[in-house]
Amino acid sequence: MEKDPNLAAFLFHALHHAHHTAVQAELSALDLEGLGSPLLMMLLQSRRDNGDIPAQRELADAMRVSPAAVAMSLKSLERLGYVQKRVDPADQRRKRITVTPLGEAAVEKCWTALQSIDRRMLEGFTARERTQLEALHRRMLRNLTGAQFPETPFERMECQCSKP
């Protein structure tokens, strides 16, 4: 088998790493270096704004990560005062997660950081190229997962977060 020296996997890995590094640097500049995953905080606020207070398991499903990974992130966020865990009155075994006022301020800073990184990353791209790039990414994700990806970043495919 001939080996392709331009293997897409290397490019995706390099892009992911560069994006992650840029986001962490931007968060650090905003005094949010302990935040970890800004996506988790943004997802929490988005769910709350839609009238949903998710449980840990629902967050793990929405982010497509293990419940243990979410639990570790939430423990850190709770220690920093960004989130609170509350027992679900309908099921004492479940904990519902809410964003604190400090967490709300952090989410606003996250949006600022991510928008700044996106502007840098997509500098020089035309509106048409951005639309085309997004469509290509969605197609690649669909090819790998079989799932349609939503229009907005916080509508999670197959997520049961808003259902009891």
pLDDT at site 122:
96
pLDDT at site 1:
65
E strand map for the chain: 83-88, 91-99
Q: Is residue 153 part of a domain?
A: no
pLDDT at site 36:
74
Q: Is residue 150 part of a domain?
A: no
- In CATH, what number is assigned to the domain containing residue 109? 1.10.10.10
Q: How many domains does the chain have?
A: 1
Q: Are strands 83-88 and 91-99 parallel, antiparallel or unpaired?
A: antiparallel
Q: Is residue 3 part of a domain?
A: no
pLDDT at site 159:
40
Query: Which region holds residue 98: left if phi is over 0, alpha if psi is between -120 and 50, else beta?
Result: beta
Q: Give CA–CA dist 45/154, Å, rounded.
A: 10
- With CA atoms as reference, report the closest residue to 34 among 42, 44, 24, 43: 24
Q: Give CA–CA dist 94/89, Å, rounded.
A: 9
For residue 163, give every residue at least 6 positions away whose Cβ sits within 8 Å of its Cβ, in sequence order, or none.
none
Domain that holds residue 98: 11-145
Q: Is residue 152 part of a domain?
A: no
Q: Is residue 154 part of a domain?
A: no
For residue 50, give every residue at least 6 positions away whose Cβ sits within 8 Å of its Cβ, in sequence order, or none.
162
Q: Is residue 29 part of a domain?
A: yes
Cβ–Cβ under 8 Å, residues 98 and 109: no
% helix, strand, coil for the chain, step of 5? 60, 10, 30
pLDDT at site 154:
52
Q: Give CA–CA dist 55/101, Å, rounded.
A: 19
Is the pTM here over 0.75, yes or no?
no
Task: Per-residue pLDDT tens, the chain, 164 aa: give them.
Answer: 677 766 888 888 999 999 989 998 998 998 887 777 777 787 777 777 777 777 788 888 877 788 888 888 889 889 999 888 888 788 888 778 888 899 889 888 888 888 999 999 999 999 999 999 999 988 988 888 887 766 555 554 334 333 33
Q: Is residue 158 part of a domain?
A: no
pLDDT at site 127:
96
Q: Is residue 5 part of a domain?
A: no
Cβ–Cβ under 8 Å, residues 47 and 154: yes
- Quick one: tokens of 160? 């049961």
